[in-house]
Structure 1
Amino acid sequence: MPVAPTTRRAVLAQGAALAAGLALAPPARAQDVAAARALVDQLVANVNAVIASGQSEDRMIAQFAQIFLAYADAPTIARYSLGADARRATPDQLARYTAAFANYLAEKYGRRFREFIGGQVVVQDARAVPNGIEVTTTAIFQNQAPFRVDFQVSAASGRLRFFNLIVEGVNMLLSERTEIQAMLDQRGGDLDRLIADLSAM
């Protein structure tokens, strides 16, 4: 599906929401950093186990999607992607959007994890950042240059989960915010239409 150019509304909403998130995030403690690293260690172990399983690529992608859903803070990512529209949505709309968006995102990033097939992901470091904890990993391959994958982790939603993924400098939160705002603009701001289309993807 083509994506419309980024609108001024989307750009302004991105900046405001990101600034608010940074301002409200509590400081991370040493045990929080250790817990965040342990979470990503387990996620990476699951991803590496799927890579080493020898299953078909389609089966691996399905399992990557399940891993994404198990470790991602889908409600937080969903609300961020909607921006100001999340505040205008009814509770029913927000629940339906979160479910549709979570499945859409898991499928999308399950396919993105396909890039790891034939290699291995290694956790390198974890550190406190203004909006949570950043866990740095490296995807290592035999015949190509390694690349960096950062997981941003927080327990702001009540349980420790990653709320952002940065692959080679590409920020998932900002990318999805831009894409969802463009999709909403294409539908005249009709959230129900967007929910239906995401559910059909």
Structure 2
Amino acid sequence: MALSGPLSRRAALALITASAALAAAPGRAAALTETEAEGFVRQVVDEVVSLVESGKPAPEQQSGFRALFARRAAVPSVVRFIMGATWRDMSGAQQAAMEDAFLDYVARVYSELLSSYSGQRIEIGQVQDFGRKGILVTSTARGEGVEDVAVEWLVSDRGGSGPQLVDVVIEGLSMLQSQRQEFAAMLDKRGGDVDQLIADLRAG
């Protein structure tokens, strides 16, 4: 079960970048323990696997992923980081609408990514405490006939409502950072029109 060796340089850099999402987050310093963070990740993994193995139609699985992200992810902090400086210029109504549209977006993206799941198992490995930035739980996805995939999960409880997922780092690539770059490109393509971006995210 254990995954030996230090955190890879790419994953460490991705973690440092991702932790910026929590830098301005309100709330107390994390009191989360490594054991709690590991247990939380196991719960998330079990929920994801249960959903993709459910045999439900794609729209129902997508709805399930949306509910999972809303419950398990630090959505306000994540969306604030992804939107960057633009977030400060958005109205309260736009910020709330963006959080809602973001959930629609990630539900579609991750349900599509996981549509190729074919029984891979997730083995939990090293767990590292990064203080106020959160706790990183490493894991490896293994399966017959496919290459192993390293997956790191950044977990924090700084929001004050228990453990929440802040980022997922796949093979050293931060999903949080990737989405920030993607959203910046999408916003630029729309001439900085936040309302249009929100509408397009909802429409898919």
Instruction: Work out whether residues 36 and 135 of structure 1, in 8 Å CA contact, stay in contact via their aligned partners in 2.
Output: yes
Q: Structure 1 residue 38 and structure 2 residue 39: aligned?
A: yes
| Alignment gaps of 5+ in structure 2 | 1-16
Distance in structure 1 (CA, Å) of the matches to 2:125 and 2:116: 19
1:67 to partner: Cα distance: 2.9
1:158 to partner: Cα distance: 2.0
Distance in structure 2 (CA, Å) of the matches to 1:73 and 1:113: 21
**Deviating more after overlay: 172-181 vs 56-65:** 56-65
Q: 1:91 to 1:22 in 2, by over 3 A?
A: closer
Distance in structure 2 (CA, Å) of the matches to 1:179 and 1:21: 16
Deviations, residues 148-177 of structure 1 (Å, cap 9, x unaligned):
111101112222101101112221111010
Distance in structure 2 (CA, Å) of the matches to 1:27 and 1:93: 28
Please tell me the residue identity of whatever aligns with 1:107: R
1:63 to partner: Cα distance: 3.6
Match of 1:113 in 2: 114
Q: 1:158 to 1:119 in 2, by over 3 A?
A: same
Report the TM-score when normalising by structure 1: 0.79
Instruction: Work out whether residues 68 and 109 of structure 1, in 8 Å CA contact, stay in contact via their aligned partners in 2.
Output: no
Match of 2:144 in 1: 142
Instruction: Work out whether residues 51 and 119 of structure 1, in 8 Å CA contact, stay in contact via their aligned partners in 2.
Output: no
SS in 1 for 2:102: helix
Instruction: Work out whether residues 136 and 151 of structure 1, in 8 Å CA contact, stay in contact via their aligned partners in 2.
Output: yes
Match of 2:160 in 1: 158
Instruction: Work out whether residues 62 and 110 of structure 1, in 8 Å CA contact, stay in contact via their aligned partners in 2.
Output: no
Match of 2:99 in 1: 98
Distance in structure 2 (CA, Å) of the matches to 1:123 and 1:137: 4
| Alignment gaps of 5+ in structure 1 | 1-16
Report the TM-score when normalising by structure 2: 0.78
1:85 to partner: Cα distance: 0.7
Match of 1:177 among 171, 175, 180: 180
Distance in structure 1 (CA, Å) of the matches to 2:147 and 2:20: 36
Match of 2:6 in 1: none
Alignment of 1:58-69 (within 5 A): 58=58, 60=61, 62-69=63-70
Q: 1:169 to 1:22 in 2, by over 3 A?
A: same
**Cα-Cα RMSD:** 2.6
